[in-house]
Structure 1
Amino acid sequence: MNLRKFLCLGLAVLTIGALTACGGEEETAATTETAAPVAPVAEVAEPEEPVRDLGGLVVTIATWVDVVEPEVKNSAYEEALWEHRHEMMEKHNFKFEELALAPWNGMLELFSTSVLAGDPAAEIFRFHANYTLAAAQSGLAYDLSTLDSIDADDPVVWNPSLAEVMTIGDAQYGVGEKGRPKQMLYFNKRLFEEAGLDPNLPYDLQASGRLDLGNFYGALRKINERYR
């Protein structure tokens, strides 16, 4: 495997885990009189991801803000993220760094000039959405669809809209994480309780897939009537 494949592996293991699943069913023959007993199907262990020694490679991600591991993690997600990153770095013998090497509107210039000079400023470049097409059309990006170490078309992990934009012909030149939540819902549990409502109602509605503005506003109307 060549260096570019190793680098793309580095990006993949920083953000995602390898998910594999296997299983199956066995049909058993049965007559109208008796049925043969079905032997329990043994669980098949998922194959372990092969170890790829990257030889202590330091993968630099060029971005417009330094990203460092916080001493205190602010959420379970952040804890799990950095735990996974350290696990992958130890397993595959590499390190990574995200450095502010250019402003958001200067990344394309840094990418083009450093690559054409034969001395890329980083192994991976992060582009603002305004410059993704220009980066893909530059002829300097690597076709991710040729790699076995990353499924660039996976809609669960990557943003499908960006994948479409970054695809030219049969080649795909970039990936982006799925969009983060942009709408938040805030509510006062005390007011729910005073109105005789379960203060965890919004959470329960969300877990059941029934949280929408209609039923939530119904609860708000009940609270509003109490304080008229």
Structure 2
Amino acid sequence: MRKLIVALTVPLLAALNLSAAWAMEMKTSPKAVLELFTSQGCSSCPSADEALRDWGKRDDLITIAYHVDYWNYIGWEDVFSAPKYSKLQRAYAKSFGSERVYTPQLIVNGEKDAVGSRRDDVNALVAGAELQLGVDLALEDGNLLINLSRNGAAAADATIWVVPFISAAKTAIARGENGGKTLAYSYIARNRMPIGMWHGEDTHQVELPLQDILTDRADGMAVLVQAKGAKGPGPILGAASIQK
């Protein structure tokens, strides 16, 4: 993980409401991306949410929590949930040849899954994981520069996704299976946007206005380069993240 001190321009300051400098953490050489499908209405999820928070502290892992909406009927509407995350999970299930979705499901590098609260199972998947495509990030004049380097990765038709996230938040749950508890969450996805394609070029760059991405309380983002599978999302080839 590289920590950078960056002098910010006026547009970036307006977007992030920060002081004249921002200490940022970048992860640009992870071995794995951990995507957790979770819900505030699921009694089995808090232990997986806690595990994701711990994995997110590692320099070699990028973690994202997608809060699904199909638990909302049980009496508590997850404040971070959105239909798009349930749709993404169903797309993963289809790519795995299954119709089943569940929480807490954790997917490693878009390829293999485990119950998110079973740390040993997840750690076993992470142990053999690798991301070959290089993804580097830089800030310039309030814009985010995303630089891809093939680094021997196999050529593929892949989508470049940006996932803004809230790095940490707490919610008092009033009803449902977790009613009466105040629970902590981390790396909470606030959107998932396709911003370009990679077709196997040795180098590739995308430039984005940061102020248009870090909205809805987001204080960080993950960049994922994910191949297209035959039936849905394919393997994640490379990734990076940046956060306050």
Do they fold alike, i.e. is TM over 0.5?
no
Q: TM-score, normalised by structure 2?
A: 0.20
Q: TM-score, normalised by structure 1?
A: 0.21
Higher strand share: 2
- Higher RCO (Cα < 8 Å, 6 or more apart): 2
Higher helix share: 1
State the structure with more CA Rg.
Answer: 1
